[in-house]
Amino acid sequence: MGSPQHVSHVRASSSASTDVDGGGLNGNQDNLLPIANVGRIMKDVLPPQAKISKHAKEIIQECATEFVGFVTGEASERCHQERRKTINGDDICHAMRSLGLDHYADAMRGYLRRYRESEEVAAALNNNNGREIQIDVRDELSIFRSNEQRQGRN
Protein backbone atom coordinates (compact mmCIF):
# COMPACT_ATOMS: atom_id res chain seq x y z
CA MET A 1 0.00 0.00 0.00
CA GLY A 2 1.45 3.42 -0.90
CA SER A 3 1.65 6.36 1.43
CA PRO A 4 -1.72 7.36 2.85
CA GLN A 5 -3.93 9.89 1.09
CA HIS A 6 -5.16 12.75 3.19
CA VAL A 7 -6.66 15.15 0.72
CA SER A 8 -8.86 17.10 3.11
CA HIS A 9 -6.64 16.56 6.12
CA VAL A 10 -6.03 19.54 8.37
CA ARG A 11 -3.51 19.35 11.19
CA ALA A 12 -5.24 19.01 14.52
CA SER A 13 -2.63 21.03 16.35
CA SER A 14 -1.71 23.63 13.74
CA SER A 15 -2.27 26.58 16.06
CA ALA A 16 0.03 25.30 18.80
CA SER A 17 3.33 26.57 17.44
CA THR A 18 2.34 30.23 17.66
CA ASP A 19 1.10 30.14 21.26
CA VAL A 20 3.71 31.20 23.81
CA ASP A 21 1.55 31.51 26.94
CA GLY A 22 2.36 29.41 29.97
CA GLY A 23 6.09 29.15 29.44
CA GLY A 24 6.19 26.40 26.83
CA LEU A 25 5.50 26.48 23.14
CA ASN A 26 2.07 24.93 23.62
CA GLY A 27 0.92 26.83 26.70
CA ASN A 28 -2.51 25.92 28.00
CA GLN A 29 -4.12 24.42 24.92
CA ASP A 30 -7.22 22.37 25.41
CA ASN A 31 -7.13 21.31 21.77
CA LEU A 32 -4.12 19.12 22.56
CA LEU A 33 -3.79 16.03 24.72
CA PRO A 34 -2.74 17.07 28.24
CA ILE A 35 1.03 17.28 28.56
CA ALA A 36 1.04 15.82 32.08
CA ASN A 37 -0.49 12.56 30.83
CA VAL A 38 1.81 12.49 27.81
CA GLY A 39 4.85 13.05 30.03
CA ARG A 40 3.80 10.26 32.40
CA ILE A 41 3.48 7.73 29.58
CA MET A 42 6.87 8.78 28.20
CA LYS A 43 8.48 8.44 31.60
CA ASP A 44 7.03 4.94 32.01
CA VAL A 45 8.69 3.57 28.87
CA LEU A 46 12.08 5.16 29.45
CA PRO A 47 14.79 3.91 31.84
CA PRO A 48 14.92 5.72 35.22
CA GLN A 49 18.06 7.69 34.38
CA ALA A 50 16.52 9.17 31.23
CA LYS A 51 15.49 12.82 31.13
CA ILE A 52 12.97 14.40 28.79
CA SER A 53 13.26 17.97 27.60
CA LYS A 54 10.17 20.15 27.81
CA HIS A 55 10.17 20.69 24.05
CA ALA A 56 10.41 16.95 23.40
CA LYS A 57 7.30 16.43 25.56
CA GLU A 58 5.51 19.19 23.70
CA ILE A 59 6.35 17.82 20.29
CA ILE A 60 5.15 14.33 21.28
CA GLN A 61 2.00 15.92 22.71
CA GLU A 62 1.40 17.43 19.26
CA CYS A 63 2.25 14.17 17.47
CA ALA A 64 -0.19 12.17 19.59
CA THR A 65 -2.90 14.78 19.03
CA GLU A 66 -2.18 14.64 15.31
CA PHE A 67 -2.43 10.84 15.47
CA VAL A 68 -5.98 11.13 16.82
CA GLY A 69 -6.95 13.70 14.20
CA PHE A 70 -5.38 11.82 11.33
CA VAL A 71 -7.06 8.50 12.11
CA THR A 72 -10.38 10.17 12.95
CA GLY A 73 -10.40 12.02 9.62
CA GLU A 74 -9.99 8.74 7.77
CA ALA A 75 -12.65 7.04 9.92
CA SER A 76 -15.01 9.94 9.28
CA GLU A 77 -14.53 9.56 5.53
CA ARG A 78 -15.37 5.89 5.75
CA CYS A 79 -18.57 6.64 7.70
CA HIS A 80 -19.54 9.21 5.11
CA GLN A 81 -19.06 6.69 2.28
CA GLU A 82 -21.16 4.13 4.12
CA ARG A 83 -23.85 6.72 4.92
CA ARG A 84 -23.36 6.35 8.68
CA LYS A 85 -23.47 9.20 11.17
CA THR A 86 -21.59 7.70 14.10
CA ILE A 87 -17.89 6.85 14.28
CA ASN A 88 -17.46 3.67 16.29
CA GLY A 89 -14.51 1.59 17.45
CA ASP A 90 -14.51 -0.60 14.33
CA ASP A 91 -14.19 2.49 12.15
CA ILE A 92 -11.09 3.51 14.12
CA CYS A 93 -9.52 0.08 13.58
CA HIS A 94 -10.32 0.07 9.85
CA ALA A 95 -8.94 3.58 9.49
CA MET A 96 -5.70 2.53 11.18
CA ARG A 97 -5.40 -0.34 8.73
CA SER A 98 -6.07 1.91 5.72
CA LEU A 99 -3.37 4.31 6.91
CA GLY A 100 -0.74 1.59 7.22
CA LEU A 101 -0.91 1.42 11.03
CA ASP A 102 -1.53 -2.33 10.97
CA HIS A 103 -0.09 -3.26 14.33
CA TYR A 104 -2.23 -0.58 15.98
CA ALA A 105 -5.30 -1.90 14.15
CA ASP A 106 -4.61 -5.44 15.35
CA ALA A 107 -3.94 -4.41 18.95
CA MET A 108 -7.06 -2.26 19.09
CA ARG A 109 -9.32 -4.93 17.61
CA GLY A 110 -8.53 -7.19 20.57
CA TYR A 111 -8.84 -4.33 23.05
CA LEU A 112 -12.18 -3.27 21.57
CA ARG A 113 -13.53 -6.81 21.75
CA ARG A 114 -12.64 -7.09 25.44
CA TYR A 115 -14.11 -3.67 26.11
CA ARG A 116 -17.42 -4.60 24.44
CA GLU A 117 -17.57 -7.85 26.38
CA SER A 118 -17.12 -5.99 29.66
CA GLU A 119 -19.80 -3.51 28.60
CA GLU A 120 -22.25 -6.38 28.05
CA VAL A 121 -21.57 -7.80 31.49
CA ALA A 122 -21.97 -4.37 33.05
CA ALA A 123 -25.27 -3.83 31.25
CA ALA A 124 -26.57 -7.18 32.49
CA LEU A 125 -25.59 -6.32 36.04
CA ASN A 126 -27.23 -2.92 35.75
CA ASN A 127 -30.44 -4.50 34.43
CA ASN A 128 -30.70 -6.47 37.62
CA ASN A 129 -30.43 -3.29 39.66
CA GLY A 130 -32.27 -3.71 42.94
CA ARG A 131 -33.06 -7.35 42.36
CA GLU A 132 -30.88 -10.15 43.63
CA ILE A 133 -29.16 -12.16 40.95
CA GLN A 134 -30.20 -15.73 41.59
CA ILE A 135 -27.94 -18.56 40.66
CA ASP A 136 -29.47 -21.99 41.10
CA VAL A 137 -26.91 -24.44 42.43
CA ARG A 138 -29.27 -27.07 43.65
CA ASP A 139 -28.18 -29.44 40.93
CA GLU A 140 -24.68 -29.29 42.31
CA LEU A 141 -25.63 -30.29 45.82
CA SER A 142 -25.54 -33.99 46.55
CA ILE A 143 -28.44 -33.82 49.02
CA PHE A 144 -30.77 -32.72 46.25
CA ARG A 145 -29.36 -35.31 43.94
CA SER A 146 -30.14 -38.13 46.37
CA ASN A 147 -33.69 -36.75 46.88
CA GLU A 148 -34.34 -36.88 43.15
CA GLN A 149 -33.09 -40.45 42.97
CA ARG A 150 -35.50 -41.48 45.69
CA GLN A 151 -38.34 -39.91 43.72
CA GLY A 152 -37.36 -41.87 40.68
CA ARG A 153 -36.03 -38.88 38.68
CA ASN A 154 -32.61 -38.78 37.14
Partner 1 sequence: MRQARPYSGMFCGGVSARTGPHALPLARIKKIMKRSAGEAAAAGDGGARMISGEAPVVFSKACELFIAELTRRAWAATLEGKRRTVHREDVADAVRNTDLFDFLVDVVTTHNVDDGATD
The reply to whether 148 sits near partner 1 by the rule CB under 8 A is no
- Distance (Å, whole) CA 55 – CA 62: 11
Asked if 62 and 83 touch (Cβ cutoff 8 Å), the reply is no
For the CB of residue 53, give the shortest distance to partner 1 in the complex, in Å: 5
- Distance (Å, whole) CA 151 – CA 101: 65
Rounded to 5°, the CA angle 21-27-29 comes to 120
Binding mask 121-140 for partner 1 (x = CB under 8 A): xx--xx--------------
The reply to whether 30 sits near partner 1 by the rule CB under 8 A is yes
Question: Nearest-CA neighbor of 62 among 8, 15, 20?
Answer: 15
Q: Which of 21, 28, 52, 141 binds partner 1 (CB under 8 A)?
A: 52
Q: Which of 28, 41, 128, 141 binds partner 1 (CB under 8 A)?
A: 41
For the CB of residue 82, give the shortest distance to partner 1 in the complex, in Å: 12
Q: Which of 28, 31, 128, 149 binds partner 1 (CB under 8 A)?
A: 31
